[in-house]
Structure formats: C-alpha cells, structure tokens
C-alpha cells in the first residue's frame, strides 16, 4: 500500500456532495494501492458519515465540507471538517436502533466497520476522524 494524502472539497448540496465523495474515493484508491475489501469497508463507513453530515449538519450557507484522505501501510484515515450545526450525540448513537426504526443506523454501521470513529466540536467546526486499520497478509 502506498503512503499518500489528498485533500478534497465536498459540496453541501447532498446529491453533489455524495457524487464528489465517490469521485474522490475512486481517485484516491487508484493511487493508494489498498485491497478491494478494505476499500469497500471504508467506502461504506465514510459514505454513512458524510450522508449524516449532509442530512443533519450542513446547509446552503455553510460552505464546502473539507475532506482529507490518507493511507499508510498500517491504516486508512479520513478527516472531515464542516461548519454546520453541532452534532448532539444521542445516548445510543453507536448501537443499532430497534428493528422498527427507519433511520439511525448510519453511524452505528460506520462505528462497527471502523477501528476509530471520533467526533469533536472545535469552535464553530465539526471535526470527524475515521480510521480503518489495514491487516497485512
């Protein structure tokens, strides 16, 4: 796996932001040399987090979401920063909701996939850090 770091901006318009995320990931994977299974796992987790940001945090006046992707021989990491509303962590944010709930699974899925899923509010910024350890085999 190659050691690389790339920066991207994602639109706060949901359809554009998701499309830009997929484009950024495809370009990143072309350079990174990451195994397909790890790519799929990371794609799933980051898509869930970005979808939550787009749905609940950012709006038209919040500017783009900043995305930094990094790969090393030991891990894949993403950092997302946005100027949207602060996230209020529900008591059970990292566990799956009851079967009858129609939403609320995204961050639980991301947390189950990743080795690290962190959120913090710094001044007026939402800062997310996602890490997937890469098993060398």
Residue-level pLDDT at 99:
53
Residue ranges per structural domain of the chain:
4-133
CB atoms within 10 A of CB 102: 6
Q: In 3D, which of 11, 12, 130 has the Cα closest to residue 71?
A: 130
User: 4-133: what fold?
Assistant: Heat Shock Protein 90 (3.30.565)
Residue-level pLDDT at 106:
87
Residue-level pLDDT at 135:
77
Residue-level pLDDT at 1:
79
Residue-level pLDDT at 101:
45
Q: From residue 19, give the alpha-carbon distance in Å to each of 26, 116, 122, 123, 127.
A: 11, 25, 27, 28, 21
Residue-level pLDDT at 127:
98
Residue-level pLDDT, tens digit, the chain, 137 residues: 789 999 999 999 999 999 999 999 999 999 999 999 999 999 999 999 999 999 999 999 999 999 999 999 999 999 999 999 998 865 444 555 555 445 557 899 999 999 999 999 999 999 999 999 997 65
């Amino acid at each position: 796996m190659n050691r690389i770091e790339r920066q991207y901006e994602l639109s706060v318009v949901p359809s554009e932001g998701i499309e830009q995320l997929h484009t950024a990931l495809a370009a990143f994977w072309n350079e990174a040399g990451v195994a397909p299974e790890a790519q799929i796992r990371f794609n799933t987790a980051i898509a869930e987090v970005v979808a939550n940001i787009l749905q609940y945090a950012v709006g038209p006046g919040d500017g783009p979401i900043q995305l930094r992707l990094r790969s090393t021989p030991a891990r894949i990491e993403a950092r997302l920063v946005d100027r949207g509303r602060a996230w209020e962590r529900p008591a059970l944010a990292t566990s799956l909701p009851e079967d009858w709930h129609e939403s609320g699974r995204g961050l639980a899925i991301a947390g189950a996939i990743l080795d690290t899923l962190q959120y913090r509010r710094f001044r007026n910024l939402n800062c997310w850090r996602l890490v997937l350890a890469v098993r060398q085999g």
